[in-house]
Structure 1
């Protein structure tokens, strides 16, 4: 049995403003109707695969379960990383967890933010790699390049990939991201593939590789797994032990040092969506090179991407060429397509001026649903709050604000101190400052309300939780 290991802790700053630290690209429907994370889970589900294991962080844990439920997939273990430590500690944590449960199994490590259009072809490549992985080799998957790309690392083969029928070939070496001239030479040689960062190996083989090539990681990661604490359906890795692990990728820690490497060439289509230029390519430009998404129109334009991520916001381009335009309710990106890799500079510039848009998404996703701020004043704020069927906010109070709730869709069950009542559409309830209160959706359809806050401080950290079905503790998100 192969256990898929989905890594989904990245922030994807080159796809700002749609991808942000609080809600990164793997959870967004960038290409097609499903999110990249959902498509990854679907691709690695079915005959021969165990339930997927997910490694993520605390803020994303409920997004992971919600999105998997939406596509009908029941996850296996979900490991919560206390902090980002790159891919080597994450992969080792997954291997050590599996060692106690399926020591003879295989694990397929895959980022959750890649596009692989032909799922059947990818599964055929995995099947071709399986015998080598069971024999103790560390197998990676190399993508057939179609251009001299400088944004990817490469794999040099020690054999001929031929017609790219799935087969195991020896791997000569890993090559760092090249300059353009080097990339052109590698493309022409036919002996180099893009490094997709996808691996298949046995639990025993990868643990042995860490013991040999990165022994300093063994103790802290083993401690983080052994001392991990169950939290609802998740396992929180121990933060103190985890902090002792180096921040290092699996390529640097193990793969570039190991001598039992192999690669399976893959030509079925792939993209890591590493920038808006990649989104443009994968979205299928028309004859003029135009891609529009949402309420966007292009007039006399060429080779451009125009996206509106708000139903109330129209984006119109006139006479544009090689332009990327992405409009969100709170931020708009306009860039020359040749500068797509520099979008991350916008995030750095916004962070330097303490702009909320640098990292915070307009919709703040919580385990019970989401909310967005509609109007913010000096002493008031208006929010739209969406609560999933059967979900409930924590029992809480505030030191600095009172609230007025108006239900506009569905029915809310509202607790204010000792009083519990049902509040239907077009009805409202007032929450005095300091009152202990809770909002629940007892129905089978989403409940939406408008919240008007007034007070001297309106920050999300002005919250005291007394009870919470999601065990979030104190703080803005817990």
Structure 2
């Protein structure tokens, strides 16, 4: 039996646009002729998979259909949530649709994760298929590259998961990594009957209402429109809290592959830094008295640059009216002014420059400084620079 991939595609992506009234959901952002949902759809074309099921909501239905068409996926099912109820009801509702047999292996994927080394990922899925039973659950752990406070972790004994730790502080994350803890990727692998058994046992309210929502769903053109009256009665809970923290039979599939949920501008900057050769164009290089910069990608209300600050180079003390900036240092040790603070940064460190903050980069050393910068805002032009001091005489 082939594995049925279920793509959870309901996230709003508000972490990237905290103050914006209208913002793009992360899975649909064009990062340079590709989107995270597009990459996920390409991933499930592998021979181990059956036709995908996409769980989303009415707001995103048009974009999901456009993506399916663009990636030439003709066989699919869409399960449409009538209201936001977090991941537990979303996961259960997709599993309950009637064309999925009871023993069907289901692989739950987030629409907004970037996974590299896909062959290794799919190999691990296939390898563990025979271990699936009517009540166990497999989750995917990613070997941490840094002690990040942006991800949840889990600890294991052999392959059994013994403990979950939700987004710890960096010092605690270091301890977890020293105990061989893994990032919790939020991807789940289990059979349909295991989902049903676990929900019946631990979340009868969610099971009862989701079952009703699916039974009374309207089905048209490959789309299940879940019954709103029943679905909204289901308790809003994440799958982690609803099931994973209650059930005992959780196994880990540990992966050492590049993975990111691109959930912060820091992660996005790093992704462009790793892949800058794909985005680099000589015509987008601009020289300045302090060094140079290259525009790597101009997206919708964001612009990614790489700054090169030569030894002894100093940018002007400046602010912006229309944009905030996120910087990730990739080379050298820049001295930074941020309002009334003055400090040195090191490679892999990151800083946020809020809209209207007075700031400057200096390089007093003999080695050049390189910074990947994400500008986020409504106007992303060089005209949006208000200079206060400048050693090159550019203050009028």
TM bucket by the smaller chain?
0.7 to 0.9
Aligned equivalent of 1:55 = 55
Q: Measure how far apart 1:173 and its partner are.
A: 1.4
Aligned equivalent of 2:255 = 266
Alpha carbons of structure 1 residues 310 and 111: separation in structure 2 relative to 1, 3 Å: closer
1:224 is aligned to 2:213: yes
Deviations 1:47-93 (A, max 9, x none): 12111000111121121111121111224210111111110000000
Alpha carbons of structure 1 residues 171 and 223: separation in structure 2 relative to 1, 3 Å: same
Aligned equivalent of 1:192 = 181
Alpha carbons of structure 1 residues 20 and 297: separation in structure 2 relative to 1, 3 Å: farther
Q: TM-score, normalised on structure 1?
A: 0.60
Q: Aligned residues, how many?
A: 323
Extract unaligned runs of 5+ from structure 2: 315-319, 329-349, 356-377, 380-396
- For 2:255 and 2:20, locate their aligned partners in 1 and report how far apart those are by CA, in whole Å: 28
Aligned equivalent of 2:69 = 69
Alpha carbons of structure 1 residues 3 and 269: separation in structure 2 relative to 1, 3 Å: same
> Any idea what SS the aligned residue of 1:183 has?
helix
Extract unaligned runs of 5+ from structure 1: 160-168, 322-326, 344-360, 363-478
Aligned equivalent of 1:207 = 196
Q: What does residue range 226-241 of structure 1 map to in structure 2 within 5 Å?
A: 226-241=215-230
Q: Measure how far apart 1:157 and its partner are.
A: 1.1
Instruction: Report if the CA contact (8 A) 1:13-1:21 is conserved.
Output: no
**Aligned with residue 179 of structure 1, among 169, 172, 195:** 169
Aligned equivalent of 1:275 = 264
Aligned equivalent of 1:36 = 36
Instruction: Report if the CA contact (8 A) 2:325-2:353 is conserved.
Output: no
- For 1:130 and 1:341, locate their aligned partners in 2 and report how far apart those are by CA, in whole Å: 47
Alpha carbons of structure 1 residues 316 and 33: separation in structure 2 relative to 1, 3 Å: closer
Q: What does residue range 85-104 of structure 1 map to in structure 2 within 5 Å?
A: 85-98=85-98, 101-104=100-103
> Any idea what SS the aligned residue of 2:167 has?
coil
Q: What does residue range 55-454 of structure 1 map to in structure 2 within 5 Å?
A: 55-98=55-98, 101-134=100-133, 136-159=135-158, 169-189=159-179, 191-285=180-274, 297=286, 307-309=297-299, 332-337=323-328, 338-339=350-351
Aligned equivalent of 1:367 = none
Q: Measure how far apart 1:228 and its partner are.
A: 0.9
Q: TM-score, normalised on structure 2?
A: 0.72
Instruction: Report if the CA contact (8 A) 2:28-2:36 is conserved.
Output: yes
Instruction: Report if the CA contact (8 A) 1:137-1:205 is conserved.
Output: yes
- For 2:123 and 2:19, locate their aligned partners in 1 and report how far apart those are by CA, in whole Å: 33
Instruction: Report if the CA contact (8 A) 1:79-1:234 is conserved.
Output: yes
> Any idea what SS the aligned residue of 1:284 has?
helix
